[in-house]
Amino acid sequence: MGNIRARTRECGSRRKVRASHRAAAAAAVPEGGEDRILQMLERLMNSVDQLREEIAMGFERMDNRFDDIHALVQRMGQRSAAGESWVSALPGPSFRPFPPADRSS
């Protein structure tokens, strides 16, 4: 029983310490600091939005590539079923289902 009380007391003191840290942190923000913090948060959110857009575009490109590959496999299967060589369904040497990654950034 004493152990539970000690833990409860410890937990309560942790809450008080956290509250005092928050109060000290709030008091430590210099005048105009809130604006700088808000600007930094806004830039961070813009970066996150930009990353989301880039990821979505990447998934869209990947999806398009998979559609191309799926269509190619279907053509190869149709030619094979018709008794033709499936090799004739392959595109020319310029076909690249996965182009090299853009490493410029």
- Start-to-end CA distance of the chain, whole Å, equals 61
Rounded to an integer, the average pLDDT of 59-68 is: 89
- Identify the DSSP state of 91: -
Per-residue pLDDT at 70? 87
Would the pTM count as exceeding 0.75? no
**Phi/psi at 92 (5° precision):** -65, 180
CA 80 to chain CA mean position, Å: 41
Average pLDDT, the chain: 75
Q: Note whether 34 and 42 are within 8 A (CB).
A: no
- Could you tell me if 76 and 86 are in contact, meaning their C-beta atoms sit under 8 angstroms apart? yes
1 band by pLDDT with thresholds 50, 70 and 90:
very low
pLDDT, average across residues 28-46: 83
- Which of the two residues, 18 and 14, has the higher pLDDT score? 18
* Rounded CA separation 53/6 (Å): 51
